[in-house]
Amino acid sequence: MQIDLNEVLEYVQEHIPITGHFGVGLANYTGESLEVLAPLAANINHRNSAFGGSLSAVGILSGWALLFIKMRELGVQNTLVIQSSNFQFTAPVAGDFSAQCCLPEAAVYARFLKILERKGKARIALDSTIICEGEVCGTHRGEYVAIRS
């Protein structure tokens, strides 16, 4: 199934309205990874760097959107939620930034799909990296839950 990132972004902005305020875009989907782009202007704080809450939210969104796309490709009707979230700030973000999320190793992802098929509910941890001007400025680890509908 061919995925249209613009359609996915429209879905995200309709069903998670706050994402429209972040000014995010979806880019560079490879089948194994996804990049979420975000402008500093929409996410700036009083120190002229990106607001920590925005960085965390964009990290969460990168994992959620990657799983959303993967489930669509497989034709799996489900509800996706974040169960836990941990963000590590490593450098100030003073420009436009992105969150890059990759699927875990194939065996972990296959186990997630098998449990989802068998039990109708499965959890998976995904890691995202926040990048600004080629520098890693933070990392996010989220545990996401898929529930078949």
Average pLDDT over residues 35-53: 97
What string of H, E and C letters represents the secondary structure of 38-82? ECCCCCECCCCCECHHHHHHHHHHHHHHHHHHHHHHHCCCEEEEE
- pLDDT digits over 58-86, tens only? 999 999 999 999 999 999 999 999 999 99
Average pLDDT across the chain, whole number: 97
- What pLDDT, on the 0 to 100 scale, is given for residue 2? 78
Cβ neighbours around 97 below 10 Å, total: 24
Q: What is the pLDDT of residues 22-37, one digit of tens each?
A: 999 999 999 999 999 9
Q: What is the Cα 65 distance to its own chain's centre? A: 5
Q: What pLDDT, on a 0 to 100 scale, did the predictor assign at position 1?
A: 65
Q: CATH number of the domain at 5-148, out of 3.30.390.50, 3.55.30.10, 3.40.50.150, 3.10.129.10?
A: 3.10.129.10
Question: Is the C-alpha dihedral spanning 45, 26, 96, 136 positive or negative?
Answer: positive
Domain regions of the chain by residue span = 5-148
